[in-house]
Structure 1
């Protein structure tokens, strides 16, 4: 039996796991709902949410087992911590890592395992969402996609816990160090991308930030004359007050809810609000802290999609009920809907199709009646959708949100399968599939936007980590395939911290500091190679990732950056001079350094450059210069 090695970031991972206060806590529906869904979707006897502690794996949620924890040394999930995507063991008896594992040769007699790592917002792996079977099996692509989607849902739940824990920690720290941190809190409060407010115990706004004013349309002085109840929709106020009352009597530490605010122009806007109660040293309530996020666009999209789907289902049910009396009328109606509509019997054969099938598949719809779905759909698509067909025939309304009917066309469809129940028996199901290509494109645009730093327009920390993981994966694949390149060329990481930036910020203000950061970003992009990846990590820290770069060229790149940033910066109201300290870490093709380690090496080298006098560069000890 092979024992999984410890992750490189084990200490940080364990600290976060304990900080979240998830270990040894009672079952929660938000986690149990996911394991129930996973067990049902994959048809496995065991589904777990496993958290990997220092010496054990503990199950936050479990389906199909009474055991709440096992030693870490024998845990499959301990191996999954090292996977970028998921760990799949089709037959544990055939895997030398697990063949003699106590969980394989003894209860619960594991043969099949599939686990997706659960990561925090900054990439630390806390555990896994996994499915287990006592029989060997393969994991279908759609089942793998479902497992990933459920894992992402759990990650959002954990991220909310982390945010709540961070909020409580900030509150405690604020009470103890208020005098020292007042200016810092004010900066965070005013410049936050989400709405924030301090509210007294009578519900009156004490302080509001610009983002909340933007959301509500009120000026700050106007909001300070109001209570939250005055701008809350009457239908949402009762729940808001009930949760607040529970907060006041210490029945909960915080609460979140979706509700509507009355804007200054008289319109209503949907927001998600998270509220925490601040108490003094004696535990007496002092005031409330509210974090408000504008969710109007999401609510609007959800409502439109729900209404559209409901309308489609209503039309199909209404027309199908009259099929025997007016099939021609039904055919005419459905033929003019921009949706694929069909009826399928229990033998998975078409009994009805609308004209969209002709447009999408290029066949006469009359020829489809009686044909099996397997003869119309591509083999791999049929296998992808078969589990959904079976669930619909079992009486479950299901949706597959990523259907490609034709590989020659980049159209994406969302297929919904609604059971046809007659006299209490499922006799088939209806197919309603709508084109969601534009929606998918919009979602991708939102994802791309989330990867950019709003101040400089450079890729942000999240994008940097994704880029480095992609680069490492590509390098590993190239090495495995025997691809060759320049023997001295690898990946170089330039970690920059500006020298003198804080003085500019303190002397001239944050607006000047922001303008300086934007010019710094422009100069860095001008002096590095066009294909190099430039990102802003945080504050005045910048990172350049250069791929396929000879070691000898790294010093020239570092010197070009240093010289470019040493030239005076002409801003709107002043001219300033700064410098930069640069740490360089190299990853030649033969080195298997991970993202966190390479960043840490470059960061340490940057601090060594500062120690040597600033405005210079230094290679990490593991990355000596060519000279």
Structure 2
């Protein structure tokens, strides 16, 4: 008896890891019978007249039969698999007599059941060229296979390959859809966080005006709870006098005449009061251009409107008095000229042709023209063509008999000044024969208004941005970190030794010291960084674009050195230090303003406990810092 040849398992393909990963992702292994595969094995068995036909998929340790004819088992070990050799074949692995092939003569399936003598296996490839298994024909006796039969077997294998490629494409489509779903969920989560935490009122409103979703700030502005608002429409809480203008702008959005609109209007609060808001509205459309819903932002401007009303009443009172005096003195042009020349207001009388009939001496100061020389001249030639065109609608309303006020006029002869003008019709026997112009310089008033708006966001003692400004900028930075991958770092500072200086030298000296600290912090930090004073001796630095712990450490060291230098106070010197807590927000990180402030605050107290005039990172970090200390 001849000795049984030694058997060697097939080597692994070079792309084995990727091949196995793809095979397991296609949901073919360990699945029920499917006609698309069973029809092919039945055709192979009948066409080639073989007792066994298989669709074999080669896994890591086994070959599993997706379809089989003439074989009872559903899988065998990969070590004795003929199909494992087919993984290396370009077109067809053909063994006409296993006893004559040194690779297979010693295979247990040759020397024992099922006593394989003939094997033909056509590789089954994926779209990327990975061989996942084989379509094979097996016989228990040796045989030849004609070229036509070989081609038929390969054609049937190509049919199965198309099925596999289709499943591969379907898997890739599902993966893309899942990635899109994850991105959508993340986008919705970020939108919800910004929507809820923004310091302005926000709402999503349906096309009928009903509130769909509201944020806490809008509830605070209106006095209604969220549940109450979503059962209402914006029409129900809008002041009746302001509703027509609002609805017209809504129609313009729906008609496509505009993309957004802004409007100052009044809401009726739940307690019966009225609140003025600055409303901004955008219409969201679907990918076909059809309207979906409105997104509205509301800013409470009640305080500003009250201030404007006070100023308006003052101007109207002044104008009334001027007009009364002017009317009383119309019989005496000399007296009229004398009085109006000494009022700090541009006063003129214009006829229906928009030609001057009277001007006071203030016209000389503003336009550099003798008032007497203006009589009979056109308003257009005096104030300039561009300003005239802007003012013309108000002139026409005055000539129609309406008393009107025109805000924010800039005359070309005095480009650095802002004026407010009132036009009062002159009527004789119920006919308008002209109008009076009273134009007041409101440059300083406008400047004070702008200053008042900015001071709301500034600390009165140091001139630094205050807590409200920090909250606004921090919300923007968190949104930018999440949506635009822009990291930032927050430094929470508390002065060491300030209380002793304040107690020994008094509050005035303490205030002066805080102003010196603010100046040093601004000088030490970058121009684009935001240095804020929260309260007392607490300061915060918001440093945008800082992404590493080493950069944060350098900034904190610069701050400690700057504050550690002696301060001048009352003819002497005062020594302070500062404890700094650092919290970092990495690109794409999700947090809240309260959370990151609390992290930095806790880190600051840790710095104080560790010896003061130093810094510590937050214990739960959002970037690459790891338990760093000063």
TM bucket normalised to smaller: 0.3 to 0.5
The TM-score with structure 1 as length reference comes to 0.46
TM-score by length of 2: 0.45
**Higher Rg of the two aligned structures:** 2
